[in-house]
Structure 1
Amino acid sequence: MSNLVQRTITGFFFVAVLIFCVAYSGYTLVGLFFIISVLSLYEFYGLVKQGGYKINLVLGIAVGVIVFLCFLLRAYTQIDSRKVMILFPLMLLLFLVELFRKQQKPFENIGMTILGIIYAVLPFIFFVSLGFLHGMIYNYELPLGFLFLLWSNDTFAYLFGRQFGKHRLFERISPKKSWEGFFGGMFSAVVISQIIAHYFTTLNSLNWAVVALIVVCFGTMGDLVESMFKRSLDVKDSGSILPGHGGLLDRFDGLLIAAPFVYAYLIFLEV
């Protein structure tokens, strides 16, 4: 099987599963992205291990799982917010356990362990939260619209960049990205946001356009951040879980930075 065929088949099923789980119910959304966040965290730790860091894999993933579940409980069951404070002593466990591991660079190991939770777990919490802005009442329009905008930007930025790209966007980090591709992706995402606004009426057309701009700007930065991360470790792909596409961090790099900013904007609007 050629790489192109493999990539196409993987991409089709990957997108189909995402759309189904987001559109079907809040339970399928939460379940899928809980799995994705755990696997992404495991992928992150695998990468930093290649860089020579001796992170505490088991404890790091355990804390990541608890962080995800605590934020979900706080958002969707309205439990006493003081109970979420247990996250702080959980983080401190990473320091205490390091006392007994006898590693040469304990604080670097702790830092990378915590960074994995910040980078590979928290953004998915923000994305899932887009569907629960009104408490336990799930609305698929915002998370699904977010994905449509993210994918449209990625697709059209690639097409415009390939056809017209001459001026490098950030050559030191990603030599193939161009300003032409960036603005082509932005224009396309804004146009598609107006189509989305016609069917997904949670936001008006203006706010969907603003969300599109946030997704384009911060999604592009997310792509660059992930490229910077891989370059610092001298690896090509974050993993191989998706044949022809690399790892989960490769596929969700734009979401990791864009989702928190979209969530912040919508909270500011009080939609």
Structure 2
Amino acid sequence: MKTRAITGFFFVIVMLASVLLGQFVFVTFYLMLSAFCLYEFYSLVTQNTAKPDIVLGIINGMMLFAGIAVLIFSDNITLLLSYKAAHSLLFLMPLTSALVFIRQLYNKSASPFNNIAYTYLGIVLVIVPFTFFHALAFVKGAYDFHFPLAFLILLWANDTGAYLVGMKFGRTKLFERHSPKKTWEGFIGGIIISAGVALILAHFYTELPWNQWVSIAIIISCIGTLGDLVESMFKRSINVKDSGGILPGHGGLLDRFDGLFLAAPIVYMYLYFIAS
């Protein structure tokens, strides 16, 4: 428990620093973090499921993240250079993507398309959500750390609330087939606590009215819980308990960001189409 608490403390410090130290640190940190998460995904799959193309998968993932990041990061460089750099990265992807297929021609694998499928599944499951999370900081144009920071705070509030309420009052299993410890009581408790934190945030982050912050909290709680269940389903399908051991007492990086993977794109969509 002590190890878990110490790891959690430093994890929170690092995550807070990633959004508070400015846009260059923010973009670079999440580019590297998404690459490490993708590597962890491939490492899990490689154990007993498939042999994804780790090198080309990470190259394609980083090019996708960087290309989109440059497109929305144009306030620090000229717009023309921004678009040229972004287009160069994105338009090179058909070549690097084709190489994923071509390399399988020379691999002596009984299931080459299984390898290809997992290579792209990692990009869709890991890189795309981090791209949307990164875009939260620029949803209003210029860099604003309020949105990604609020996302993390609300996600942590939901996880903490669900854990505490579930431990104290949990009786009814939420989805026993994939996560035996999750309960409906914990799920509802997480929503309530996250919504309460959103009301507090609304007093300090006035970009949105209180009801929209609460709506975001509910989205994060509901969709984030589904993301957690999806990650549990993934780990059960390949017979592993934790996604890794990089965070002592907490498992791997995928274990820490499973709620983000489904929730970040939905929250961005909400902000872009509704809150804006």
Query: Which secondary structure does the structure 2 equivalent of 1:175 belong to?
Result: strand
* Match for residue 38 of structure 1 among 28, 31, 35: 35
Question: 2: CA distance between counterparts of 1:174 and 1:64?
Answer: 29
Question: 2: CA distance between counterparts of 1:101 and 1:74?
Answer: 36
1:88 Cα deviation (Å)?
3.3
* Match for residue 104 of structure 2 among 98, 103, 106: 98
Amino acid of the structure 1 residue aligned with 2:98: L
1:260 match: 265
2:3 match: 6
* Contact persistence 2:223–2:262 (CA under 8 A): yes
Number of residue pairs matched? 267
Amino acid of the structure 1 residue aligned with 2:93: L
1:76 match: 73
* Contact persistence 1:34–1:68 (CA under 8 A): yes
Question: 2: CA distance between counterparts of 1:85 and 1:266?
Answer: 28
Q: Does 1:246 align with 2:255?
A: no
Q: Does 1:61 align with 2:67?
A: no
1:75 Cα deviation (Å)?
2.0
* Match for residue 47 of structure 1 among 30, 44, 49: 44
Question: 2: CA distance between counterparts of 1:228 and 1:23?
Answer: 34
Question: 2: CA distance between counterparts of 1:153 and 1:270?
Answer: 21
* Contact persistence 2:160–2:190 (CA under 8 A): yes
* Match for residue 220 of structure 1 among 207, 220, 225: 225
1:123-155: CA deviation from partner (whole Å, max 9, x where unpaired)? 1111011001133x1100000000010000000
Question: 1: CA distance between counterparts of 2:93 and 2:269?
Answer: 22
* Contact persistence 1:149–1:212 (CA under 8 A): yes
Question: 2: CA distance between counterparts of 1:270 and 1:245?
Answer: 34
1:5 Cα deviation (Å)?
1.1
1:85 Cα deviation (Å)?
4.0
* Match for residue 179 of structure 1 among 168, 177, 184: 184
The gaps in structure 2 that reach 5 residues or longer are 75-81
Query: Which secondary structure does the structure 1 equivalent of 2:118 belong to?
Result: helix
2:21 match: 24
* Contact persistence 2:49–2:238 (CA under 8 A): no
1:150 match: 155
1:69-120: CA deviation from partner (whole Å, max 9, x where unpaired)? 1111122235167653443343222112211223110100000000011111
The verdict on how the C-alpha distance between 1:112 and 1:206 changes in structure 2, with shifts beyond 3 A counting, is: same
* Match for residue 112 of structure 1 among 92, 115, 118: 118
1:269 Cα deviation (Å)?
2.3
1:18-72: CA deviation from partner (whole Å, max 9, x where unpaired)? 1122122111211221121011011000000012311111111111111111111
User: TM-score w.r.t. structure 2 length?
Assistant: 0.93
Question: 1: CA distance between counterparts of 2:29 and 2:73?
Answer: 17
The gaps in structure 1 that reach 5 residues or longer are none
* Contact persistence 2:194–2:217 (CA under 8 A): yes
Query: Which secondary structure does the structure 1 equivalent of 2:181 belong to?
Result: strand
Question: 1: CA distance between counterparts of 2:181 and 2:102?
Answer: 44
Q: Percent identity?
A: 48
Question: 2: CA distance between counterparts of 1:182 and 1:85?
Answer: 43
| Worse-superposed segment, 180-189 or 79-88 | 79-88
1:203 Cα deviation (Å)?
1.3
